Amino acid sequence: MEQSDNAQDPIINGNHVEETSGTSKQMQEIDKYGFTGGTQYTNPDSEDIPVNKIRKREIKWLTMLDNWDLWMAKKFSKVKQRCRKGIPSSLRGRAWQLLCGSNLLQRQNVGKYEELLKTEAASNAVEDIEKDLHRQFPFHEMFAKKHGTGQQDLYNILYAYAVYNPKDGYCQAQAPIAAVLLMHMPAEEAFWCMVAM
């Protein structure tokens, strides 16, 4: 869904997004995941897990994440069970990195991400990435602003991956995966998660 040239970028104000279009202004509430609308928006009234239960899960996950090697070696079935129950949203980025092994890849390749961003990619990859940026979660606060930080980080991840894996280059299916990873972790960590996956 493309924005018209007359529409201005949304302004984020607290838990609301102010959409300005011509002379009218609309306030849209942002859900706990950063969505302002679309099919991904979560109605805050539909929350069914009590806060104290969420906090207990977070504490269990923090204990597990802080002793990851031990849990994977001796209590793998418990890790699997907790993953199936659901990883608390506040810890997903950290958990995903450990689950796919990207944290190890990143430690083994210090400086590689920056190097990839400075390397020239195939021109068709650049063109295709730029065409797809505005299509990735247009109702999410990170990606709503054209040329904003979220879109720039997303571009960098996809560009670096196209350089890192020139045989596959860039394809449209990579963008939503990179965008979801980016919602949970910084760009370089999201890149290494993509590589690990």
pLDDT tens string 4-52? 444 444 545 444 444 444 433 444 676 555 566 666 555 666 567 778 8
- Taking only the tens place, the pLDDT of each residue in 93-127 is 999 999 999 999 999 999 999 999 999 988 888 88
Q: How far is CA 90 from CA 61, 67, 116, 174, 180, in A?
A: 10, 18, 29, 23, 14
pLDDT surpasses 90 at 136: no
| pLDDT tens track for 168-185 | 888 888 988 998 999 899
User: Could you tell me the pLDDT band of residue 147, with boundaries at 50, 70 and 90?
Assistant: confident
* Domains in the chain with CATH codes: 11-45 (no CATH), 48-90 (no CATH), 106-196 (1.10.8.270)
Question: Mutual orientation of helices 174-182 and 149-164 as an angle, nearest 10°?
Answer: 130
Q: Whole-angstrom Cα distance, residue 133 to residue 95? A: 26
User: In this structure, what token pair is assigned to residue 100?
Assistant: 């796919």
Average pLDDT over residues 49-70: 90
Which is it for the CA torsion 78, 84, 90, 93, positive or negative?
Answer: positive
Backbone conformation region of residue 137, classed left if phi is above 0, alpha if psi is from -120 to 50, else beta: left
3-state secondary structure of 16: strand
Asked if 110 contacts 89 with a C-beta cutoff of 8 angstroms, the reply is no
Q: For tokens 């539909």, name the residue.
A: 46
For range 141-150, the mean pLDDT: 77
Q: What is the pLDDT of residue 1?
A: 37
DSSP 37: S
Q: Is the pLDDT assigned to residue 157 strictly greater than 70?
A: yes
Half-sphere exposure of 86 (CA within 13 A, CB side): 8
Contact criterion met (CB below 8 Å) for 171 and 124: no
